[in-house]
């Protein structure tokens, strides 16, 4: 197949047969976010490269290996967003949200771009749902953001997923931790990969997130950050746990979580699934108390998370979650000739104006082929429209499931068809009872 017929490696089409699942999932995300007071923000797909260098951090995998960066025709260095937090914070500073009544609670859904090795759950274009709670340093905010992510997963239909939390402290307590890490990794220097050797000098915590099996093997025995927390960070973490308990949210403390982006401080968390193989983190987030100041804004503490929608879809599929079925047409109108097609268009317009999902022939097919098509698209009812029906202004509506026929008046098709639909609903309810 030539390139023109092939999507770029690591990108996926979401086809009409699957898009209703995406609409359901994204609808739930926005609905639950609203329930917690988070309103949607939409930011550009690309930003000045500096936005990501300053925030994500130049010793991370994302910046070192994964960004889609190019010069535009005006000579600016532009990067397709690898995540949304950086752009959202850039916007919050630029538009004065960080000076408004705090906390400002926003959510987003959007595409992200990372040049990674494509595999199950790891794409070059993927989608994230996320939230940012800007302007609270309180542990209650950490718990609220975690609760929101948990409720989204549960309400969408994820049956089993575990929440892992950790604290990676503040810049103060991290000094001692960095020193301990440096000492530990220096003794394993000859085994570390090239990238991690560089990280050893500049940001030893990043080694803990290295994907190479050798480095991660060494990292498994490294000192854990929880042992190095200052009193304030320790108290914050204890309080987050208390809030989670009060909200009935179960978790495990995993002292090895450090997250792949540099801006995190204190609380970090992941929702991890055992059902989707190696790419098991569906949602990752945490606090980033220093990020807004680091990006040129005021000192405003914040936190948030990003949830990978493709990975979430894999979890739903592997757990056989029940998602709502795609909506089928209420009625298919099958015209027999050219003038009937015109009448069919008129009837469709009337029915659609009343909200009935109505379809008709757009390919000038014969009756047999039309009925086959009506069956294929799952129409609940059908109506054959010929000269007689048009002259007498009467037609028969056929229930495609049980074959039952009801006669209707074409002049008041919306009323008569409405009656049929209501009867059908009562019949369905009666069957359930």
Give the span between the Cα atoms of 351 and 349, in whole angstroms. Answer: 6
Q: CB of 276: closest distance to Mg ion in angstroms?
A: 15
Task: Tell me, by CB under 5 A, how many residues bind Mg ion.
Answer: 1
Judged by beta carbon, residue 10 or residue 223, the one nearer Mg ion is: 10
Segment interacting with ligand ATP, rule: CB under 6 A, options 32-40, 96-104, 258-266, 417-425? 258-266
Nearest to 413 by CA among 322, 349, 318: 349
Given the complex with ligand ATP, which of 122 and 357 has the nearer CB atom?
122
Q: How far is the CB of 328 from Mg ion (least distance, A)?
A: 40
Q: How far apart are the first and last CA of the chain?
A: 54
Q: Where does residue 141 rank: exposed (0-12), middle (13-18), buried (19+ CB within 10 A)?
A: buried
Q: What is the CA radius of gyration of the chain?
A: 28
From 102, 107, 147, select the one nearest 129 (Cα to Cα): 107
- Answer yes or no: are the C-beta atoms of 22 and 156 closer than 8 Å: no
For tokens 């998370």, the residue is 305
Cβ atoms of 46 and 79 within 8 Å: the answer is yes
Q: In what order do the strands lie in the sheet with 46-48?
A: 46-48, 77-80, 69-71
What is the secondary structure of 128-139 as a DSSP string? EEEEEEET--SH
Q: Which residues does 186 contact at the CB level (< 8 Å), separation at least 6? A: 200
| Alpha carbon distance 121, 310 (integer Å) | 7
Cβ at position 280, least distance to ligand ATP in Å: 8
Contact call for residues 163 and 146 (beta carbons, < 8 A): yes
The residue within the footprint of ligand ATP, chosen from 38, 46, 108, 126 (CB under 6 A), is: 126
CB of 419 to ligand ATP, least distance (A): 48
Q: Which of 91, 128, 167, 273 binds ligand ATP (CB under 6 A)?
A: 128
Taking CB within 5 to 8 Å according to partner kind, which of ligand ATP, Mg ion, none is near residue 310? ligand ATP
Rounded to the nearest angstrom, the gap between the alpha carbon of residue 223 and the centroid of all alpha carbons in its chain is 34
CB of residue 91 vs ligand ATP: minimum separation in angstroms?
A: 19
Judged by CB under 6 A, which of 51, 205, 222, 282 binds ligand ATP? 282
Question: Cβ neighbours of residue 318 under 8 Å, at least 6 residues apart?
Answer: 275, 276
- Per CB under 6 A, does 308 bind ligand ATP? yes
311 binding ligand ATP? (CB under 6 A): yes
Question: Distance (Å, rounded) from C-alpha 125 to C-alpha 7?
Answer: 11
Contact between 83 and ligand ATP by CB under 6 A: the answer reads: yes
Which of 196-204, 257-265, 323-331, 414-422 is the region at the interface with ligand ATP (rule: CB under 6 A)?
257-265
Query: Is position 330 an interface residue for ligand ATP (rule: CB under 6 A)?
Result: no
Residue 132 touches ligand ATP, criterion: CB under 6 A: no
Q: Which of residues 257-276 bind Mg ion (CB under 5 A)?
A: 260
Residue 116 binds ligand ATP (CB under 6 A): yes
Rule CB under 6 A: say whether 114 interacts with ligand ATP: yes
Q: Annotate 214-275 with DSSP letters as a single string.
A: HHHHHHTTSPPGGGG--HHHHHHHHHHHHHHHHTT---EE-TT---SSTT-EEEEEEEE-TT
Interacting residues of 416 by C-beta distance below 8 A, sequence separation 6+: 397, 406, 408, 409
Per rule CB under 6 A, is residue 166 in the interface with ligand ATP? no
Q: How far is the CB of 17 from ligand ATP (least distance, A)?
A: 21
Q: Which residue is nearest to ligand ATP (CB)?
A: 308
Residue 316 is given by DSSP the state H
Does position 279 bind ligand ATP by CB under 6 A? yes
What's the residue count for the chain?
Answer: 433
Stretch that binds Mg ion, among 189-197, 222-230, 256-264, 342-350 (CB under 5 A): 256-264
Q: Which does 282 bind (CB under 5 to 8 A by kind): ligand ATP, Mg ion, none?
A: ligand ATP
Residue whose CB is less far from Mg ion, 260 or 386 = 260
Q: Of 103, 135, 169, 284, which lies in the binding site for ligand ATP, with binding defined by CB under 6 A?
A: 284
Q: Is 122 in the site for ligand ATP (CB under 6 A)?
A: yes
Cα 233 from Cα 20, distance rounded (Å)? 44
Cis peptide before 103 (omega within 30 of 0): yes
Q: Is 283 in the site for ligand ATP (CB under 6 A)?
A: yes
What's the min distance (Å) between Cβ of 339 and ligand ATP? 53
In the complex, minimum distance from the CB of residue 45 to ligand ATP, in angstroms, rounded to a whole number: 16
Q: Which stretch binds ligand ATP (CB under 6 A): 248-256, 306-314, 332-340, 384-392?
A: 306-314
Positions touching ligand ATP (CB under 6 A) are 83, 114, 116, 121-123, 126, 128, 259-261, 279, 281-284, 306, 308, 310-311
Positions touching Mg ion (CB under 5 A) are 260
């Amino acid at each position: 197949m030539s390139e023109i017929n092939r999507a770029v490696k690591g990108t996926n089409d979401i086809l009409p047969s699957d898009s209703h699942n995406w609409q359901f999932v994204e609808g739930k995300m926005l609905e639950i976010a609203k329930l917690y007071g988070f309103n949607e923000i939409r930011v550009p797909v690309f930003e000045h490269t500096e936005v990501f260098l300053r925030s994500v951090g130049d010793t991370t995998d994302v910046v070192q290996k994964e960004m889609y960066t190019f010069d535009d025709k005006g000579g600016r260095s532009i990067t397709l967003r690898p995540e949304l937090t950086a752009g959202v914070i850039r916007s919050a500073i630029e538009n004065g949200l960080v000076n408004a009544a705090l906390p400002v609670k926003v959510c987003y859904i959007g595409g992200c771009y990372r040049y990674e090795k494509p595999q199950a759950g790891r794409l070059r274009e993927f989608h994230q749902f996320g939230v940012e709670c800007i302007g609270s340093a309180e542990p209650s905010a950490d718990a609220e953001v975690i609760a929101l992510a948990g409720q989204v997963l549960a309400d969408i239909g994820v049956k089993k997923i575990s929440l892992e939390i950790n604290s990676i402290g503040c810049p103060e307590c991290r000094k001692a931790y960095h020193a301990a890490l440096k000492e530990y990794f220096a003794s394993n220097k000859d085994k570390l990969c090239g990238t991690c050797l560089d990280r050893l000098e500049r940001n030893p915590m990043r080694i803990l997130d290295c994907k190479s099996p050798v480095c991660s093997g060494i990292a498994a025995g490294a000192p854990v950050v929880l042992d190095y927390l200052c009193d304030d960070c320790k108290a914050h973490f204890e309080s987050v746990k208390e809030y989670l308990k009060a909200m009935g949210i179960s978790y495990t403390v995993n002292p090895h979580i450090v997250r792949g982006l540099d801006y995190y401080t204190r609380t970090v968390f992941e929702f991890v699934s055992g059902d989707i193989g190696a790419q098991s983190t569906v949602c990752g987030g945490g606090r980033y108390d220093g990020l807004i100041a680091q990006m040129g804004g005021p000192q405003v503490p914040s936190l948030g998370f990003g949830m990978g929608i493709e990975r979430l879809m894999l979890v739903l599929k592997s757990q056989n979650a029940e998602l709502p079925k795609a909506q089928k047409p209420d009625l298919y109108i099958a015209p027999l000739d050219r003038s009937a097609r015109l009448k069919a268009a008129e009837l469709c317009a009337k029915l659609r104006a009343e909200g009935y999902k109505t379809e008709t022939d757009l390919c000038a097919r014969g009756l047999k082929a039309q009925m086959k098509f009506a069956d294929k698209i799952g129409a609940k009812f059908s109506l054959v429209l010929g000269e007689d029906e048009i002259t007498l202004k009467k037609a028969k509506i056929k229930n495609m499931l049980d074959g039952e026929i009801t006669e209707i008046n074409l002049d008041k098709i919306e009323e008569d068809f409405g009656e049929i639909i209501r009867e059908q609903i009562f019949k369905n309810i009666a069957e359930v009872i």
